[in-house]
Amino acid sequence: MPVSSCCAAAGALSLFAALAAPLHAQGFPSKPVRIVVPFPAGGTGDIVARMVAGPLSKSLGQAVIVDNRAGAGTVIGTEIVARAAPDGHTLLTVFNSFTINPAVRSKLPYDTEKDFAPITLLAQVPFVYAVNPSLPVKSLKELLALARSKPGALTYATPGPGTGQHLAAEMLKLMAGVDITHIPYQGAAPAVSAVLGGHTAVLLVNVSDVTPYSTAGRLRPLAVTTRERSAAMKDVPTVAEVGFPDYESALWVGMVAPAGTPRDTVAKLSSETGRALRLPEVVTGLDKLGLAGAPRTPEQFTAFIRDELQRNESTARKANIRVD
């Protein structure tokens, strides 16, 4: 090879190395990290995202910004992250709707399994079945017996159609073979009010939505939906204890990144978020909301999402649940 060609080649390699070195040195993160929350500010997921944003900012050495992008049943915010650069700088807070929407909506602008890289589960809170004390039942078994004696006569309230509570209730109906009519409300507060006023017989919302009223004797909790009893309602049995060992459901909050995000970046985000969730001030903040931190590895959270997708698809199909 001529000397001039060798010099040119060497010069090109040197230039490439000079350009590549700064990029490699930057690592992750190299700029502020954005956490997209597909709900308005002030909700459970928004509060959890803000709780971990501060500690994450300190451990990552970059600003961590919470960006609320509500609308279309979380679809707008979710699509934004699905289309974002897979570099770890744009993340998404996900909820039950992340694994419910594919089962109840005919068309989504993203694929829940293919377009995202799971990072970690953040927190969970049980749902609780509760009734107005005037209803003549003192346990879930008695409620189901009453429902069997009066098919379709009883009603149950949830925060809305296609919510985690809606699918949780339909799952129990399928397992127990009962017919209780769903009355969806626009949020937990009106659902609670309907049962307090005797307009709807049964309530299924988060434990934290019921605790003040159960303590005052205005609502009677019958069973919580998680495998373990709730710390906020230690005397209330689980649905599994009552006779449905395969039953499990809860409100959950997690975090994902766009598909293709480097594995070491996902692992770092998972590790640092888990560390944030274990901080005393974060544990206390979650406890005030009735939530419990539930960090997982990316592999564990991937398995969790897969199980939720399968369970929700089966329930929605058998109960014929659609929201479009």
Whether residues 176 and 112 share a domain: the answer is: no
- CA contacts within 13 A on the Cβ side of 179: 5
Domain end call among 208, 242, 276: 242
pTM of the model: 0.87
Task: Identify whether 21 is part of a domain.
Answer: no
Using CA atoms, how far apart are residues 251 and 230, in angstroms rounded to an integer?
13
For tokens 């309602």, the residue is: 233
Res. 73: pLDDT tops 90: no
Task: Identify whether 170 is part of a domain.
Answer: yes
Using CA atoms, how far apart are residues 102 and 114, in angstroms rounded to an integer?
12
Res. 7: pLDDT tops 60: no
Whether residues 119 and 256 share a domain: the answer is: yes
Beta carbons of 290 and 232 less than 8 angstroms apart: yes
Total domains, the chain: 2
List pLDDT tens digits, range 206-262. Answer: 999 999 999 999 999 999 999 999 988 999 999 999 999 999 999 999 999 999 999
Binning pLDDT at 50, 70 and 90, where does residue 324 land?
confident
Using CA atoms, how far apart are residues 126 and 136, in angstroms rounded to an integer?
24
Task: Identify whether 324 is part of a domain.
Answer: no
The boundaries of the domain holding residue 70 are: 31-124+251-319
- CA contacts within 13 A on the Cβ side of 42: 1
Whether residues 139 and 228 share a domain: the answer is: yes
Whether residues 77 and 91 share a domain: the answer is: yes
CATH number at residue 217: 3.40.190.10
Mean pLDDT of 148-155: 96
Task: Identify whether 16 is part of a domain.
Answer: no
Whether residues 132 and 274 share a domain: the answer is: no
Task: Identify whether 26 is part of a domain.
Answer: no
Whether residues 108 and 40 share a domain: the answer is: yes
Whether residues 108 and 159 share a domain: the answer is: no
Domain end call among 191, 216, 242: 242
Whether residues 133 and 237 share a domain: the answer is: yes
